[in-house]
Amino acid sequence: MSGIPLRDLSPHERYKLLCGVVVPRPIALVTTLDANGAVNAAPFSFFNVFSEDPPLIVLGLQHKPDRTPKDTTRNIHRDGEFVVHMVDEALASAMNDCAVDFPSGESEVVATGLATVPSVDVRVPRLTAAPFALECRRSVALSFAPGRELLVGEVLRIHARPGLVDTNNMYVDFAAYRPIGRLFGNLYSYQREPFAMDRESYSQWSARLRAGDGTGKPSGNGKPSGNGKPSGDS
């Protein structure tokens, strides 16, 4: 098999393939303010953390089929401020409701009954129901096509639901967090059964192979250890 050349696929076919392959993806429920001060909320799964120094996230923005910016894109272009909310099991249904194609100018937050509280470093309010809220400021936006932009945002402040973060060591209680992931189509995933693989030094890896254990099976006790970096992240 020589692979699937994406240049031969339609944009819709590429979307289906990429979204089916790159899974699960974290979900960002993004709030912004429109020109009249109404709170807009929209979910994005083309999203991830990018850097810790400086603290950056990346967000894939898209336009409408007629190439006009969607509300979130237009609001960030104008104000440069937004709040990213992580989505847990309890927030999943409301997040999905925020994906409804509401008329421009109609607040998804009002329509769904989501409560908000003021943020600290940005004017955009945050959702009280979210397990985590990241106050963000636009760092740079890059356009790659008439309808696609890559937004890099600086995280100014993180709000956490009580009990989710041990601030002495910045440990997140994953069992209490219960995030969901985006798959493809209308499919989502629970993240309830994590497993641990300890990151070894080269000498530890070599010693294990010399001892005859070259299986590559997960090891560890299911709890994070070391510096928290995944294998291969040097």
Residues 6+ apart with CB under 8 A from 102: 108, 111
| % of the chain with per-residue pLDDT over 90 | 82
Q: Contact at 8 Å (CB) between 200 and 216? A: no
> Residue 234: its pLDDT value, please?
42
The pTM of the full predicted model, rounded to 2 decimals, is: 0.89
Name the band, by pLDDT with cuts 50, 70 and 90, for residue 62.
confident
Nearest to 210 by CA among 197, 218, 200, 220: 200
Name the band, by pLDDT with cuts 50, 70 and 90, for residue 232.
very low
Q: How many CB atoms lie within 10 A of CB 140?
A: 10
Q: Contact at 8 Å (CB) between 153 and 135? A: no
Distance CA 41, CA 73 (A): 11
Q: Which whole number is the average pLDDT over 5-33?
A: 96
Cis peptide before 54 (omega within 30 of 0): yes
Q: For 91, which DSSP code?
A: G
